[in-house]
């Protein structure tokens, strides 16, 4: 598995390096909500990212790598964990209908907020997340109505399979972090060449704007 993960990580870093020249600091926007993909991520530490690297730059790589872990865990689950596979399929079918603005996005943007941060005193007429939520109650109600009864034995078996899936995810994540460390220099050089000059220019521009008139 390690060799396979190493190749996939190399491919993900290569794809991120091809995308990075298109990133512009002027298109970045502030956020008040914590990104669950990036905040406190050991993958960010393995990549050598620090707090000065803009979130969108980090997210573009970390989300690609998250999809690698998800795909490997999904494949393992399908091969070895029939109970978890059945429950995941049932949940996917319950959520299949309705408007999903966060699906089908490029990996660099998948997982980011679909709406801008609200401006106090200037409410939106509508939000994409709000439109998507309109279908959520009926989907959840249908899922709850269709939920089967489990015996204690079946519940125990399902818990064992979930534990195995978690263990495999941890193993894949650890292998991915070790593989990513080998690409730290490439990542650092790209950030220094393509990101830091834009951030420095923005800070300099803000400093000029905030300077008191002479």
Cα–Cα dist 55/62, whole Å: 10
| pLDDT for position 57 | 95
Cα–Cα dist 96/199, whole Å: 41
* Look-up of token digits 């800070």: 203
Buried b / exposed e across 158-178, counting CB within 10 Å, b at 16+? beebeeebeebbebbbebbbe
Below-50 pLDDT ranges, the chain: 137, 139-145
| pLDDT for position 116 | 63
For the four alpha carbons of 128, 134, 139 and 141, in that order, the dihedral sign comes to: positive
Going from the C-alpha of 89 to that of each of 94, 143, 152, the distances in angstroms are: 9, 12, 21
Q: Given 3-state DSSP classes, what are the helix, strand and coil percentages for the chain, each rounded to the nearest 5?
A: 65, 0, 30
Write out pLDDT tens, residues 68-82. 999 999 999 999 999
| pLDDT for position 145 | 47
| Angle ∠(45,50,51) on CA atoms, nearest 5 | 130
Cα–Cα dist 106/123, whole Å: 28
pTM of the model: 0.73
Q: What is the DSSP letter of 4?
A: H
| pLDDT for position 64 | 95
| pLDDT for position 124 | 60
């Amino acid at each position: 598995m390690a060799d396979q993960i190493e190749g996939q990580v190399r491919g993900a870093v290569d794809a991120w390096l091809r995308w990075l020249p298109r990133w512009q600091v002027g298109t970045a926007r502030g956020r008040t909500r914590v990104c669950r993909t990036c905040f406190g991520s050991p993958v960010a530490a393995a990549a050598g990212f620090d707090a000065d690297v803009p979130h969108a730059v980090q997210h573009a790589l970390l989300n690609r790598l998250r999809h690698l872990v998800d795909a490997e865990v999904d494949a393992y689950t399908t091969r070895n964990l029939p109970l978890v596979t059945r429950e995941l399929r049932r949940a996917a079918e319950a959520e299949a209908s309705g408007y999903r603005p966060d699906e089908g996005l490029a990996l660099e943007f998948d997982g980011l907020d679909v709406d801008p941060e609200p401006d106090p005193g200037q409410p939106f007429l509508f939000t994409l997340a709000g439109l998507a939520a309109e279908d959520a109650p009926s989907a959840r109600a249908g899922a709850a109505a269709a939920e089967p009864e489990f015996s204690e034995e079946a519940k125990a078996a399902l818990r064992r399979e979930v534990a195995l899936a978690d263990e495999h995810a941890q193993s894949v994540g650890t292998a991915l972090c070790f593989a990513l460390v080998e690409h730290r220099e490439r990542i650092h050089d790209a950030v220094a060449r393509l990101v830091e000059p834009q951030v420095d220019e923005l800070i300099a521009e803000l400093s000029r704007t905030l300077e008191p008139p002479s």
